[in-house]
Structure 1
Amino acid sequence: MTTVADAVAALEAAYPPALAESWDAVGLVCGDPAETIERALVCVDPVESTVDEAIETGAGLLVAHHPLLLRGVHGVGADTTKGRLVHRLIRAGIALYCAHTNADSADPGVSDALAAAIGLRVTGPLNPNPDGRTGIGRVGVLPEPEPFAVFVERVARALPATEGGVRAAGDPNREIRTVAVSGGAGDSYLSVVTAAGVDAYVTADLRHHPAGEHLADPSAPALVDVSHWASEWPWCGQAAEILRSALGGTVTVDVSSRRTDPWTAQAPGAPTRTGRFTG
């Protein structure tokens, strides 16, 4: 029988905890390592809807990218949002495992999954660790150059739809061949992508002032800003395949179908959910 510990070992072989940032909280949040499991669910966010899904599908393990308890807590009372989730998971016999910045830096990791979804051939990490192989973000190459307007539509088609859609900043006719990607919030790497000399940068949560200052540099790459959740959702399939392979098919592994992007509506006349290039 396959146990929670077996699944954790497979995940930590792929996403070594040593790769996690010092401030991060990764690993087994709740659950008995000795408990047997027959089904697992992989998601981006451990929230009410994905816990509902884990219970509905009969999962014994929920694997999430984002930590549930990132900051220190003194209790997990069921009268708090996160405490309530912990209680629900324990009562349902579901273990929770989180792989966050260790999955971001791993090879392959979160940004490899994003690059693959877009259709890039990865050439290396954007911000490499000393080993030169792991690190945050990836740099890749398109099969053929294409105008920025076409590339933005490529990104919008590749990722799950969200109410915020896809935003872009740059010359619509600019030729795009080399691309940097970073799943999740990536504006701290704007200077890195400029130094890398890529044509475009795809990430999430770009802020007004950093983006504006970046674009003031004529040598800076064009920007594509997507939903944080959408940028990391391709990783779910990667992690699911790692579990299926490592556990020899003894555990059914599902990818969450719940959209946990927090934005749920647009004002009338706003861009479409899949994005609109506006130049």
Structure 2
Amino acid sequence: MSAVTDIAAPPTVLDVVNALDRRYPRDWAESWDRVGLVLGDLAHPVARVLCVVDCVPETVDQALDGGADLIVAHHPLLLKPVSTIAPDTYKGRIIHRLIRGDVALYAAHTNADVANPGVSDALARRLDLSDLRPLVAAASGAGRGIGRIGTLPEPMDLAEFTGFAATRLPATTAGVRAAGDPGRTIRTVAVCGGAGDSFLGDAVRAGVDAYLCADLRHHPASEHLAEDGPALLDVAHWATERPWLDEVGEWLRGEFGVAVTVSDVDTDPWTVHAFSSSEKETQS
């Protein structure tokens, strides 16, 4: 008689979706957000997962070329309502390609932002911050909330910390820029994955030395500094959220034993950076 070896069946899309929903409950998302399963056959087995910040043509290519059964994305593809998914529209083309390739799509956005661990935890860990706590705590506690505040292992001045952040975060054309006195001592840092200028006041109230986030705008940043607020570091949106993919990927591997690829496709829209002639002279 030949021995029969029991081989566990691979998880289905439904299995993975249910686990993601437990880790990042949909009711943690902002009311305007659109999270959860976007498309896919719930009964389809999942052997390979691709984790991305954005579901765009380039990451869809990556999923199809790599034989992914599921894309886990941070940004929702259908955040704003559409009246058609015709294949001659941008989002329609993406949806049709995924359906033809039998690739499911799931999004965890603001529900992953406030999770513990979540998007800002991964960002804080890239910067070696310790003793983490939320920048804006969730009402239900448990360490959840927007952003994180932590302490550097050793103080740095702002110029040094800016260079350190540039080496620790994913490289983009935009790089890392800072606002404030280059010699200011930085010990405590607040971070927020994604756009963060709506939390400038919270960083002030927290009494941190520096606040790092994405998409800072001219006037809010200028007024913040005029009021002697924390130094500011502005990073490309994609770069602040890419670190979270590593943690999601590691968790999926441990939870299901599936093959997970974390996408390093830079989906930041800015692709060219040039110095003016006066800046070149300053740099030399």
TM-score, structure 1 normalization: 0.94
- Letter of the aligned partner of 1:2 in structure 2? P
Tell me what 2:65 maps to: 56
Distance 1:184 1:3 in 2: 31
Give 1:155's aligned residue.
165
> Could you tell me how far 1:267 is from its partner in structure 2?
2.7
Which position in structure 2 is the counterpart of 1:265? 272
CA separation of 1:194 and 1:270: change in aligned 2, threshold 3 A = farther
Aligned-partner Cα distance in 2 for 1:269–1:56: 40
CA distance in 2, matches of 1:267, 1:225: 17
Determine if the alignment matches structure 1 residue 120 to structure 2 residue 120: no
Q: Which amino acid aligns with 1:226?
A: V
* Counterpart mapping for 1:1-279 below 5 A: 1-132=10-141, 133-218=143-228, 220-247=229-256, 249=257, 251-267=258-274
Equivalent-residue separation in structure 2 for 1:165 and 1:145 (angstroms): 22
Q: Provide the aligned C-alpha RMSD in A.
A: 1.7
Letter in 2 for 1:24: D
SS at match of 1:233: helix
Moved more, 169-178 or 51-60: 169-178
1:84 and 1:271 map into 2 onto residues whose CA distance is 44
Deviations 1:208-241 (A, max 9, x none): 00000000112x1100000000010001101111
The answer to whether the 8 Å contact 1:124/1:138 transfers is yes
SS in 1 for 2:148: strand
Dislocated runs of 4+, deviation >4 Å? 268-272
Counterpart Cα distance in 2 of 1:49 and 1:122: 37
Distance in structure 1 (CA, Å) of the matches to 2:202 and 2:277: 32
Residue 123 of structure 1 and its aligned partner are, at CA, apart by 2.4
Q: Name the CA distance, whole Å, in 2 between partners of 1:88 and 1:269.
A: 42
Give secondary structure in 1 for the equivalent of 2:201: helix
Instruction: Specify the SS of the correspondent of 2:154.
Output: strand
Q: Alpha-carbon deviation of 1:10?
A: 2.1
Rounded to whole Å, the distance in 2 between the matches of 1:73 and 1:269 is 41
Once the two structures are overlaid, the 10-residue window that deviates more, 61-70 or 259-268, is 259-268
Task: Indicate the structure whose relative CO is greater, using CA pairs within 8 Å and at least 6 residues apart.
Answer: 1
Q: Which one-letter code corresponds to 1:72 in the other structure?
A: P
Give the aligned length: 271
Where do 5+ consecutive residues of structure 2 fail to align?
Answer: 1-9
Q: Percent identity?
A: 57
Is the partner of 1:113 in helix, strand or coil?
Answer: helix
Residues in 1 aligned to 2:278 and 2:260: alpha-carbon distance in whole angstroms: 35
| SS of the residue 2:82 aligns to | coil
Distance (whole Å) between structure 2 residues aligned to residue 270 and residue 184 of structure 1: 31
Contact 1:14-1:242 at 8 Å conserved across structures: no
Determine if contact 1:122/1:138 at 8 Å carries over to the other structure. Answer: no
Amino acid paired to 2:174: G
Give a deviation string over 1:10-58, Cα, whole Å, max 9, x none. Answer: 2122211111000000010010111101100000000000000000110
8 Å CA contact 1:117–1:159 kept in 2: the answer is yes
**Distance (Å, rounded) in 2 between the aligned partners of 1:55 and 1:269:** 41
Partners of 2:219 and 2:27 lie apart in 1 by: 33
Counterpart of 2:264 in 1: which secondary structure?
Answer: coil
Extract unaligned runs of 5+ from structure 1. Answer: none
State the Cα distance separating 1:268 from its structure 2 match: 5.2
Quote the offset at 1:158 in angstroms. Answer: 0.8
Secondary structure of 1:267's counterpart equals coil
Find the aligned partners of 2:21 and 2:131 in 1 and give their Cα distance: 23
Question: Could you state the TM-score of these two structures normalised by the residue count of structure 2?
Answer: 0.92
